[in-house]
Amino acid sequence: MSSQTRYVERAIPRISMHDFEDRIEEITTQLIDAAENVGFFTVINHGISKEDIEAMFATSKSMFDLPDNVKATVPWNANNVGWEKNSQIRPSTGKPDSKESYQLQFGENMKDLWIKDSDLPGFQTTSLTFMHRVQEISERLMRCFARGLGFPETFFIECHGISRPNSQTTMRLLHYFSQPEESDGQEYHRAGAHADWDFLTLLFQKEGQSGLEICPGREVVTEFGIGDEWTKVEASTEAIVCNIGDLLMSWSDDRFKSTFHRVKAPCEPGDYFGDRYSIAYFNQPCKDTLIQGPLKKYPMVTGAEFTENAMKRNFAALQEKLKTVAAA
Domains of the chain: residue spans and CATH: 6-327 (2.60.120.330)
pTM, to two decimals:
0.90
CB 188 within 8 A of CB 204: no
Residue 225: per-residue pLDDT: 47
Other Cβ atoms less than 10 A from the Cβ of 323: the count is 11
Helix (H, G, I), strand (E, B), or coil: what is residue 277?
strand
H or E stretch including 63?
helix 50-64
Please spell the DSSP secondary structure of 93-134, one letter per residue: TSSB-SEEEEEEESGGGGTT-SPPTTTSTTHHHHHHHHHHHH
Residue 118: per-residue pLDDT: 97
Degrees to nearest 5, angle at CA 195 with 57 and 263: 45
What string of pLDDT tens digits covers the 328 residues of the chain?
344 678 888 889 999 999 999 999 999 999 999 999 888 999 999 999 999 999 999 999 999 999 999 999 999 998 889 999 976 666 656 677 789 999 999 988 899 999 999 999 999 999 999 999 999 999 999 999 999 999 999 999 999 999 998 899 999 999 999 877 776 656 666 777 778 889 999 999 999 888 888 887 655 555 554 556 788 888 899 999 999 999 999 999 999 998 888 887 666 777 777 899 999 999 999 999 999 999 999 999 999 999 888 777 766 665 665 566 456 5
At 179, the amino acid letter reads Q
Other Cβ atoms less than 10 A from the Cβ of 58: the count is 12
- CA 92/CA 71 separation, integer angstroms: 28
At 180, the amino acid letter reads P
Residue 323: per-residue pLDDT: 61
Residue 279: per-residue pLDDT: 98
At 205, the amino acid letter reads Q
Residue 325: per-residue pLDDT: 47
Residue 4: per-residue pLDDT: 63
Residue 142: per-residue pLDDT: 98
At 287, the amino acid letter reads K
Residue 185: per-residue pLDDT: 58
**Alpha carbon of 109 to those of 79, 104, 105, 168, 261: distances in Å?**
7, 9, 7, 9, 28
| Cβ contacts of 245 within 8 Å, gap of 6 or more | 195, 196, 197, 198, 199, 200, 201, 258, 282, 283
For 99-132, b where at least 16 C-beta lie within 10 A, e where not — what string?
A: bbbbbbbbeebbeebbbeeeebeebeebbeebbe
Residue 189: per-residue pLDDT: 66
